[in-house]
Structure 1
């Protein structure tokens, strides 16, 4: 079974990075990266998942689930990483701006309040 740890190890090896390289890039110890990869630390903090996804040029969804459910468009990934870094207030403000500017692209069947509960 493919796990988050396996995917992290796969990306690290594909990029020819050491545990130390990855640790320095996301601001943790070498041992922490090793524990992420072996599953000793199964619940990786969201900010670290986001940094790992950015480092490996993938999505947080793919790291967590192993499923490629979104586009490989680099601009989409940049937008997603930016959104993940925003506060709840900033996310809400962004949605107001997007709806005002691009309402024709939104699915009105989705309740925005449900999407932004945190």
Structure 2
């Protein structure tokens, strides 16, 4: 089974980025990124994982587990889920609270 570090490396390479480019974008050293990818550091901190997911255009769940999120059934849902996944976790929670408080469509 593919590890977190392998998924980070594969996503980085699929974007055509080198270690230096992603490390700079993340605000970490090349050595830290190498340790994540090699598994020397088993997994980045949660805040770093969410930032990695945004930078790599991947779902945080995929980075952590390797499981792809459910697919949207329409283009509108796909766009909504894509943008939602890129938000800061606290903002996502606020949006979920707001949405859950709305009355259902009649």
TM class by shorter-chain length? 0.7 to 0.9
C-alpha separation in 2, matches of 1:53 and 1:10: 12
C-alpha separation in 2, matches of 1:74 and 1:53: 16
Does 2:100 align with 1:99? yes
Of 75, 78, 87, 2:80 maps to 75
Matched ranges for 1:1-118 at <5 A: 1-71=1-71, 73-84=78-89, 86=90, 91=93, 93-103=94-104
Equivalences, count = 100
* Contact 2:50-2:60 within 8 A present in 1 as well: yes
Of structures 1 and 2, the one scoring higher in RCO (CA 8 A, sep 6+) is 2
Could you list the runs of 5+ residues in structure 2 that have no partner in the other structure?
73-77
Deviation per CA, 1:81-107, whole angstroms, max 9, x where unpaired?
A: 3252x17xx83x544421221546xxx
2:87 match: secondary structure:
helix
C-alpha separation in 1, matches of 2:11 and 2:97: 36
TM-score in terms of structure 1 length? 0.72
2:86 match: secondary structure:
helix
Q: Identify if the C-alpha distance between structure 1 residues 9 and 43 changes in structure 2 by more than 3 Å, giving closer, same or farther.
A: closer
Q: What CA RMSD, in Å, does the superposition of the two structures yield over aligned residues?
A: 2.2
1:82 match: secondary structure:
coil
Could you list the runs of 5+ residues in structure 1 that have no partner in the other structure?
105-118
Q: Which is greater in Rg?
A: 1
